[in-house]
């Protein structure tokens, strides 16, 4: 295995930059860079870094050595804490590039080695990627729990149970009980059913974990001129933690990213529901409606001087805007004024409650990716087939398929083709 190196912190100016080296040659590289013996394992030492060819000074900083296997990758790892200047980093990277048997790491290569050396399973790798991408508190909590193995342990536990069921089935095939004609399903049925129920309950999660990871979509809809855009602006400005603000790629949907109670929310103003004058506007209306259909939650807006709640359905939050004009607010409807700010607290409270309840962090480990859902669905249907009983060979085969589907989730079995997809999402240096 070649020795690899990369900058682990983000490129650019910073107080400190961390560079990692992993592989059998990591220790030798550190000795060459410092002209000194290796520091004791896992102890930070202050060193002068030099260009091994010219012996010229490059920087002064901390060096740590993590001997295999007690390191992130499971290999010998060296960490250099340099000053985060572009010339410093470029100088040290250049010096490393000129050392023999070292090469720059590919994206995700450190994490991939950690996986291959059994330091992380695939769900933990995904949790790590999500943790790096987490923008809100609830996302962070979910990612950290997954990185620490909550999901992996759950799936491995189920797989271990499946493997035991499979062993029973195989024993039945290899050593049929001569005296008592073996009714396989009488023995295995309860175990199969119990496992099937647990997996079904895990799948039936309202896609909570996936929503938290990807963001919850909230659409503001209503007829023209009720004040949808004004409300969006109000909500965007009042929110303490706007993650980013960007105009939609089309002229008809404007989006802002909000952090509502730790849950990332994309609030879309389907401003396209304007009078559909030209063809472009009509296309805008179509997209706006489609967007509203897809949304996890809809805010339906009406105003005393413009339109009612014709678009509203069960589960929508209904708002009467422009209450400053002096209209009665019917029961079950939140009265607001984008102009004066009246009622916005009640609106935000309602939003937090709805979003937080449905998508906030949960006590149980949750499915966070379509990949998990697919594997679990496959496992569940193989289990259901096995549960129907019949020929022992066929039952065993279905149990084997079910176990393999779970094994793929943690990376225990045939995942080669999956790895490239998963690690591609990582940046260099991770």
Instruction: Pick from 229, 352, 362, 381 the residue near ligand GDP by CB under 6 A.
Output: 229
Query: Closest CB to ligand GDP among 222 and 387?
Result: 222
Alpha helices (H) in 175-183, listed in sequence order: none
Asked if 234 interacts with ligand GDP (CB under 6 A), we say: no
Asked if 337 interacts with ligand GDP (CB under 6 A), we say: yes
Integer Cα distance of 129 and 140 in angstroms: 11
CB under 6 A: which stretch of 10-18, 158-166, 322-330, 349-357 binds ligand GDP? 322-330
Token pair recorded at residue 378? 């496959």
Q: Which contacts (CB < 8 Å, 24+ apart) does range 272-276 have?
A: 273/221, 273/222, 273/223, 273/224, 273/228, 274/224, 275/224
The residue sitting closest to ligand GDP, measured at its beta carbon, is 227
CB atoms within 10 A of CB 427: 13
Instruction: Pick from 4, 17, 226, 311 the residue near ligand GDP by CB under 6 A.
Output: 226
Instruction: Pick from 50, 199, 311, 338 the residue near ligand GDP by CB under 6 A.
Output: 338
Asked if 334 interacts with ligand GDP (CB under 6 A), we say: no
Query: Closest CB to ligand GDP among 111 and 230?
Result: 230
Integer Cα distance of 80 and 217 in angstroms: 42
Query: Closest CB to ligand GDP among 228 and 354?
Result: 228
**Closest alpha carbon to 264 in 230, 234, 296, 288:** 296
How many binding residues for ligand GDP (CB under 6 A)? Answer: 15
**Residues from 258 through 317 that contact ligand GDP (CB under 6 A):** 271
**Residues from 41 through 70 that contact ligand GDP (CB under 6 A):** none
Integer Cα distance of 18 and 188 in angstroms: 54
Chain centre to alpha carbon of residue 350: 26
Helix (H, G, I), strand (E, B) or coil at 97: helix
CB of 228 to ligand GDP, least distance (A): 3
Is the previous residue joined to 69 through a cis bond, with omega within 30 degrees of 0?
Answer: yes
Only one residue has tokens 């259901």, namely 384
Integer Cα distance of 136 and 47 in angstroms: 37
CB of 212 to ligand GDP, least distance (A): 29
Query: Closest CB to ligand GDP among 227 and 262?
Result: 227
What residues have CB less than 8 Å from 415, skipping those under 6 apart? 122, 408
CB of 306 to ligand GDP, least distance (A): 8
Query: Closest CB to ligand GDP among 117 and 229?
Result: 229
Integer Cα distance of 318 and 301 in angstroms: 6
Asked if 227 interacts with ligand GDP (CB under 6 A), we say: yes
Instruction: Pick from 97, 325, 370, 427 the residue near ligand GDP by CB under 6 A.
Output: 325
Asked if 185 interacts with ligand GDP (CB under 6 A), we say: no
CB under 6 A: which stretch of 39-47, 84-92, 148-156, 332-340 binds ligand GDP? 332-340
Residue 23 is inside which H or E element, if any? Answer: none
Q: Which residues bind ligand GDP (CB under 6 A)?
A: 224-230, 271, 321-322, 324-325, 337-339
């Amino acid at each position: 295995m070649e020795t690899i190196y990369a900058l682990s912190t983000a490129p650019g100016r910073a107080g400190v930059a961390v560079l990692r080296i992993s592989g059998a040659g990591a220790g030798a590289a550190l000795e060459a860079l410092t002209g000194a013996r290796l520091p004791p394992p896992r102890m930070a030492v202050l060193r002068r870094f030099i260009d091994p060819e010219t012996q010229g000074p490059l920087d002064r900083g901390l060096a740590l050595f993590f001997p295999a296997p007690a390191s992130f990758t499971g290999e010998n790892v060296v960490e250099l804490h340099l000053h985060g200047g572009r010339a410093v980093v470029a100088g040290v990277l250049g010096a490393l590039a000129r050392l023999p048997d070292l090469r720059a790491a590919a994206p995700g290569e450190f994490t991939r080695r950690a996986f291959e050396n059994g330091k992380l399973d695939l769900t933990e790798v995904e949790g790590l990627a999500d943790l790096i991408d987490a923008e809100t508190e609830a996302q962070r909590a979910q990612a950290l729990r997954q990185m620490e193995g909550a999901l992996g342990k759950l799936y491995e536990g189920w797989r271990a149970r499946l493997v035991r069921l499979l062993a029973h089935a195989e024993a039945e095939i290899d050593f049929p009980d001569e005296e008592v004609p073996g009714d396989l399903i009488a023995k295995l049925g309860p175990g199969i059913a119990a496992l099937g129920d647990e997996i079904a309950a895990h799948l039936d999660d309202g896609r909570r974990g996936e929503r938290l990871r990807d963001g919850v979509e909230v659409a503001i809809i209503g007829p023209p001129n009720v004040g949808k855009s004004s409300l969006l602006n109000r909500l965007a400005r009042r929110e303490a933690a706007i993650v980013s603000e960007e105009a939609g790629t089309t002229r008809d949907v404007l989006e802002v990213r909000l952090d509502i109670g730790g849950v990332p929310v994309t609030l879309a103003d389907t401003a396209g529901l304007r009078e559909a004058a030209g063809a472009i506007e009509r296309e805008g209306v179509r997209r706006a409606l489609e967007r509203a259909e897809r949304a996890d939650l809809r805010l339906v807006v009406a105003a005393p001087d413009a339109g009612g709640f014709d678009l509203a359905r069960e589960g929508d939050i209904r708002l009467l805007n422009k209450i400053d004009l002096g209209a009665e607010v019917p029961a079950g409807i939140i009265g607001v004024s984008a102009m004066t700010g009246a009622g916005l607290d009640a609106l935000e409270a309602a939003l937090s409650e709805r979003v937080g309840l449905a998508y906030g962090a949960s006590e149980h480990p949750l499915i966070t990716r379509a990949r998990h859902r697919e594997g679990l669905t496959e496992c569940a249907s193989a289990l259901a087939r096995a549960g129907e009983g019949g020929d022992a060979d066929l039952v065993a085969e279905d149990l084997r398929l079910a176990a393999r589907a779970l094994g793929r989730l943690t990376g225990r079995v045939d995942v080669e083709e999956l790895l490239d997809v998963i690690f591609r999402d990582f940046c260099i240096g991770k």
